[in-house]
Structure 1
């Protein structure tokens, strides 16, 4: 049994997914407004809020999906399988551009990749009974890891970590904690994880580099990533990963804080009282995060403890505002566009990772260079979007917004047809 959906939480999720879609799909990566870029290292832009917000929202939803706190083998199996399905979806995204078949190129190879994507999508998102889901997810996971660590060279540098992979891991631990511990214990565990991570990063010497530090590539988290996942890390860094092993510890704390807020929302109190509690918690975490950042800087790539508190505080305050407007003041007419995004996040996550690569494989004649071809994505941007704008920043943003419009029509259709893709 699940509780009735909280519209304000779905709207918050929809807003977050929409922002993710905008920042991940500019027309040109060379022309992006600063708020739509990640901080270079320390610091936090609006773009750096997307990932922790989604992890926080996932944690907040757990008390609504498991209100009875029943725990047995069946429930445990469902948690394991759902966590692995999310993990496998993210892992497959890292494989898409590496899939090869009989030396095919262009459209024929694209068809092969899309067929395999369809098979994997059905296996991981399909509505099967629990026994079949279990077999399928372990089968897909075994195949993906065999390819990564097997004899085929084309897959031996595939990235293992990723956004969905981290979300799957965080979901697993936060769900178990919710079912097996009290609210007080959960708060204690979250606090301990943040302090433990700070101690590891700020006090433990880094083998091969010397004293503890928080610099790119030489910190303890980077050392562990390179030791355990050498050759399977983020292509832009090679030696460390922003969704690496050690930094997943504080990410679990982000999920726990969301889970705590989900329980506060279910308190037997008036909605006004709940709003007051949420406001106090949100402001407190925000201030604590800013204070801690003086010695442990806010940093998304390291997912520092100050970053956890700061982003959780902002998430709580935004959710509180939405909760007041929607659940108390009953202002709901404006929410539909965010709602249709918020109830179908996984299909956007998955296909948004596939479509850019697919479009890049479809090439047509370049109108300006006779002997050259151009993919349809770049053609649309260069010859349909860019000529309309004198400022390249506006052109790049316009492309991202049009991509959001494209997805809005798709999600509206799914919403009308009551098609909800869940793991």
Structure 2
């Protein structure tokens, strides 16, 4: 009887922890489904400067610097690492058949995310028959796939201490490359928009086209080194959560310490190596990991410790099908659907209320689709 009760408790704790991670992933996705415009709309309605400041945080930085909108992508990558750290174990502990299945899944996931990323970028550029020189091969989904794949290989094949050494090695190696590697006019510490070493790598080695024909692609080749670190740090955080699951107050304290320390270190080093999302600099890694861990601590405290779950469920519903709804933002004309259903209401309103309710209706339609999928247990995983 005692064993059965303990099994139920363990299952419940696991479910809650997964809810907190799914809720944070859904909260992260919420802002790129259309919610990023809500503050600008509120500023139009109220004229309050606080909403204008918040609206500015919902825009990417032009080059050096950081806004909260810059956090969305790296937070998602770190959470994929957290899930890996919670669940993964050395590949040697699996049978030969299981190992083969694991490898097949990892390669399939990587290839599928790269392919879906191309689809998100609207595929073949000029249309089929394809002009392969007009395809943008790199993407947000492709970067997520690569970061997870590298992290999975390291988790499966190396001990934790070795993984730490490799993570530190990637961090300092990338810093060294940014600071000293040079080819002609490129690199050698130049972190400008046109002549960084990343720009040379993308212009020389990246097939197809770059984002908006820019000098360096924001999902370019060399900056993958930075995003891999985000995922690996997520792995270590996941392991910490797993090892300290029975001492929640200690875990919360450690998450807060790690978050504040990493965030502070990133900004302390900013004068030496600027925080930059496009280049995904090591300082950008530190700042985004710091914020990500602090958000994770907040969600862990609210959901796992205080057991406040009702508010988190709508976000968790988004998080359970995050990849498919992300694809939907590019492949479905949600604005057309909103205008078709609610256009009469919207056009009768002032500009501010029209902008705000258009966002509300857009989010509601997407959420209802996800809620229907959740209710019918349709979870599209990659």
Number of residue pairs matched?
Answer: 352
**In structure 1, how many angstroms separate the alpha carbons of the residues matched to 2:273 and 2:219?**
19
**In structure 2, how many angstroms separate the alpha carbons of the residues matched to 1:328 and 1:67?**
26
**In structure 2, how many angstroms separate the alpha carbons of the residues matched to 1:210 and 1:177?**
29
Alignment pair present for 1:332 and 2:309: yes
Structure 2 counterpart of 1:91: 118
Structure 1 counterpart of 2:23: 11
Asked whether the 8 Å contact 2:85–2:234 carries over to 1, the reply is no
Alignment pair present for 1:46 and 2:68: yes
**In structure 1, how many angstroms separate the alpha carbons of the residues matched to 2:115 and 2:318?**
22
Alignment pair present for 1:388 and 2:349: yes
The CA deviation at 1:220 is 0.4
Q: Which runs of 5+ in 1 are unaligned?
A: 102-146, 361-374
Change (3 A) 1:63 1:323: same
Post-superposition CA distance 1:346-391 (Å, at most 9, x none): 11112222113xx79xxxxxxxxxxxxxx77788898764652344
Q: Which runs of 5+ in 2 are unaligned?
A: 1-10, 45-51
Structure 2 counterpart of 1:22: 34
Asked whether the 8 Å contact 2:193–2:215 carries over to 1, the reply is no
Asked whether the 8 Å contact 1:282–1:316 carries over to 2, the reply is yes
Change (3 A) 1:204 1:68: closer
Give the ranges of 4+ consecutive aligned residues of structure 1 lying more than 4 Å apart after TM superposition: 2-5, 23-28, 375-384, 394-398
- TM-score normalized with structure 2 length: 0.83
**In structure 1, how many angstroms separate the alpha carbons of the residues matched to 2:307 and 2:57?**
31
**Match for residue 230 of structure 2 among 236, 240, 254:** 254
Q: Map 1:283-362 onto structure 2 (within 5 A).
A: 283-356=260-333
Structure 1 counterpart of 2:375: 416
- TM-score normalized with structure 1 length: 0.76
**Which range is displaced more, 86-95 or 240-249?**
86-95
Change (3 A) 1:9 1:387: same
SS of alignment partner, residue 243 of structure 2: coil
* Structure with greater helix percent: 2
**In structure 2, how many angstroms separate the alpha carbons of the residues matched to 1:313 and 1:292?**
14
Superposition RMSD in Å: 2.9
Alignment pair present for 1:265 and 2:241: yes
